[in-house]
Structure 1
Amino acid sequence: MSKVKYYYDHETLSYRRIEPKKGKKLGLVAIFITGMILSGFLFFIATSYIPNVKTPRVLSLERELNNAELNYQILNNKLTQIESVLSNIEERDNNIYRIYFEANPIPDEQRQAGFGGVNRYKHLEGFDNSDLIVNTTERLEVLQKRLVVQSKSLDEITELAKEKEDLLAAIPAIQPVKNEDLTRIASGYGWRSDPFTKARKFHYGMDFTAPRGTPIFATGDGVVTRADNRSSGYGEHIRVDHGYGYVSLYAHLSKYNVRRGQKVKRGDIIGFVGSTGRSQAPHLHYEVFKDDNRINPLNFYYGSLTADEFDAMLKAATIENQSLD
């Protein structure tokens, strides 16, 4: 119930009731209705747009997500570059290195094989960018496997190269007497006339005529297995085991410069020219064995002769003359 208000009338000296004006009452009603409408409108606007109003926390998370997606794209671009470089290395490995060192090429199926069986990436599924994350992870793992395969291949090539280097150093590849010290090449590998019996006999080495005391050089790296005169006909002689099935023999020496069991390098002086044993004059009788078979030493002088020198030696060595032992 609304309160009744009065005012004091000085003319009548009494209290009179205040009557509200009809216009004012209508104004208040209008203001109330307008307020209600405005409040409803504001409420509608607020409820319509609140879902799109983002808090600082939401904005921060979105920035992190966008940044992560960008980083994944950058990572994928780098992976493409790395894969290209690795592919080039793999191609050279198969077509150059492994062929040169006589190793079988590694098949692409073995280099680039993925990972079968169970789904390895199930824990990465169900997110907004799952496809990107799964693809990047898979590429990284395949790339890692390719790097492991290539690393093992390079380790193998390194070992093969080391063996090749050792082999090249071991092969008896130089002339055992220097050209300037030679009087002549007395006899080569092949059928020759025996100096004592005059019968036609196969000569299994090469005879280098040189003054007594001329230095004799090891023709390849190896170990001295014999330095004695206990082999019929050779007199004082040296045998060097080069490994890989190669052995070189130096006969009719005047004296030794090495002992049994000693390691020698190609070019080391191992003895001196003489005429001991079954020999007609001072010279070096030189033989090369491969897997216990005598082979022509002339095939191994590529390490010390020029093309012209080799051609001259070839002509002299093929003359069927008389040997000196």
Structure 2
Amino acid sequence: MPSEKQCREYTIKLIPSDGGTVRNIHLTSRLFKYAIASLIAGGLLLIAVFCFAGYSFFANKVDKQTIEDLQNANTIQQEKLTELAQKATQLQSDLDKLNATEKELKSISNIDVPTTDDSSASQNVNTDGGQGGPVIAPDVQNLSEVLANLEKRVAIHQENMENLRQALITQRKQQDLMAEKSITTPMGMPTGGSISSPYGFRWNGTDFHPGIDIANDYGAPIRATADGVITTAGWNSGGYGNMVDIDHGNGIITRYGHASSVVVSVGQHVKRGQIIAYVGSTGFSTGPHVHYEVRVNNRPVDPSSYL
């Protein structure tokens, strides 16, 4: 016979709230245990389903956010690559302009300033020839390397341009100095006419003539042969008569003697070709003419080399 424990039954009463018929559900001990186990298993399964659903929801949300972050990062990287590529193109354009300007200035000024640019980087490229090699997509690293190289070469050519500018300034100063020296160096005849007495010994060696005599009509204009400052203007008792001295700098003085009249004064600045006096025959003279001297460091030299 089955034991009392095995035959134990459980009754579940279902009582309606409206006072209706009460229903009884009889369960044996084994069925009751099965029912309790099923309820627990079902609850655990329901909890597991809810947990998995929650995990899947949050995992998908995280994956979506990660994908968006990666897409944003990729967009930023592409924008940076585009910006770097544009900067590289602009720098190359600036470098080409610097090269062209540098060559033009060297050609115009005839100044050859040595370049310190990498010769291999500045070689002429013939795009008509064969080309090849692996195709590598540009990235931030190789574009940055290209930019760094271009910036370095632009800086080098800017330095070359500065050196060329300094060379041009020096050349301009030299040209100005030469021009100044040119206008202050005696050149040409102070008046028209012909040379009536040369420089050097004359009259059978009895007299040394420190200049040349230029015969011309009485009252003809006498002109400065170079720019300078008047240091003497007026009568000279040493035989020159009315005389003008002009200091041209660099130790050079020109002297004009025997004038009928002088129209400049001491301290006055005169230009080449400016009238300073008029032909006469004052002082030790036998007729109207100009005694013309060129003195270097206060010693007379042959004026013929300045004519």
Return the TM-score normalized by structure 1: 0.61
1:4-153 pair list within 5 angstroms? 57-89=72-104, 91-92=106-107, 96=110, 108=114, 112=116, 128=141, 129-153=143-167
**Amino acid in structure 2 at the alignment position of 1:264:** V
**Amino acid in structure 2 at the alignment position of 1:172:** P
Seen in structure 2, the aligned counterparts of structure 1 residues 163 and 130 have a Cα distance that, compared at 3 Å, is: same
C-alpha distance in 2 between matches for 1:274 and 1:219: 18
Seen in structure 2, the aligned counterparts of structure 1 residues 87 and 239 have a Cα distance that, compared at 3 Å, is: same
Match of 1:285 among 284, 291, 294: 291
Of all paired residues, the percent bearing the same amino acid is: 26
Seen in structure 2, the aligned counterparts of structure 1 residues 96 and 290 have a Cα distance that, compared at 3 Å, is: farther
Q: What SS does the aligned partner of 1:252 have?
A: strand
Judge conservation of contact 1:247–1:290 (CA < 8 Å) in 2: yes
Superposed displacement of residue 145, structure 1: 2.0
C-alpha distance in 2 between matches for 1:71 and 1:269: 67
Most deviating of 230-239 and 198-207? 198-207
**Amino acid in structure 2 at the alignment position of 1:80:** L
Seen in structure 2, the aligned counterparts of structure 1 residues 144 and 231 have a Cα distance that, compared at 3 Å, is: farther
Q: Aligned Cα RMSD in Å?
A: 4.3
Report the equivalent of 1:186: 196
Q: What SS does the aligned partner of 1:134 have?
A: helix
**Amino acid in structure 1 at the alignment position of 2:73:** V
Superposed displacement of residue 83, structure 1: 3.8
Judge conservation of contact 2:218–2:288 (CA < 8 Å) in 1: yes
**Number of equivalent positions:** 253
Seen in structure 2, the aligned counterparts of structure 1 residues 52 and 201 have a Cα distance that, compared at 3 Å, is: farther
Seen in structure 2, the aligned counterparts of structure 1 residues 292 and 88 have a Cα distance that, compared at 3 Å, is: farther
C-alpha distance in 1 between matches for 2:93 and 2:248: 50
Q: Which has the larger radius of gyration?
A: 2
Report the equivalent of 1:124: none
Q: What SS does the aligned partner of 2:156 have?
A: helix
Judge conservation of contact 1:72–1:136 (CA < 8 Å) in 2: no
C-alpha distance in 2 between matches for 1:153 and 1:228: 47
C-alpha distance in 1 between matches for 2:162 and 2:95: 18
Seen in structure 2, the aligned counterparts of structure 1 residues 211 and 163 have a Cα distance that, compared at 3 Å, is: same
Superposed displacement of residue 252, structure 1: 1.0
C-alpha distance in 2 between matches for 1:188 and 1:92: 47
Seen in structure 2, the aligned counterparts of structure 1 residues 218 and 63 have a Cα distance that, compared at 3 Å, is: same
Superposed displacement of residue 176, structure 1: 0.8
Report the equivalent of 1:174: 188
Residues 284-321 of structure 1 deviation map (CA, whole Å, 9 limit, x = unaligned) = 011122344433323333xxxxxxxxxxxxxxxxxxxx
Q: What SS does the aligned partner of 1:278 have?
A: coil
Report the equivalent of 2:273: 267
Judge conservation of contact 1:213–1:254 (CA < 8 Å) in 2: yes
Seen in structure 2, the aligned counterparts of structure 1 residues 151 and 186 have a Cα distance that, compared at 3 Å, is: same
C-alpha distance in 2 between matches for 1:54 and 1:72: 27
Seen in structure 2, the aligned counterparts of structure 1 residues 112 and 283 have a Cα distance that, compared at 3 Å, is: same
C-alpha distance in 2 between matches for 1:239 and 1:271: 11
Seen in structure 2, the aligned counterparts of structure 1 residues 84 and 133 have a Cα distance that, compared at 3 Å, is: closer
C-alpha distance in 1 between matches for 2:234 and 2:275: 16
Q: What SS does the aligned partner of 2:236 have?
A: coil
Seen in structure 2, the aligned counterparts of structure 1 residues 113 and 288 have a Cα distance that, compared at 3 Å, is: farther
Gaps of 5+ in 2: 1-22, 26-58, 119-139
Report the equivalent of 1:222: 228
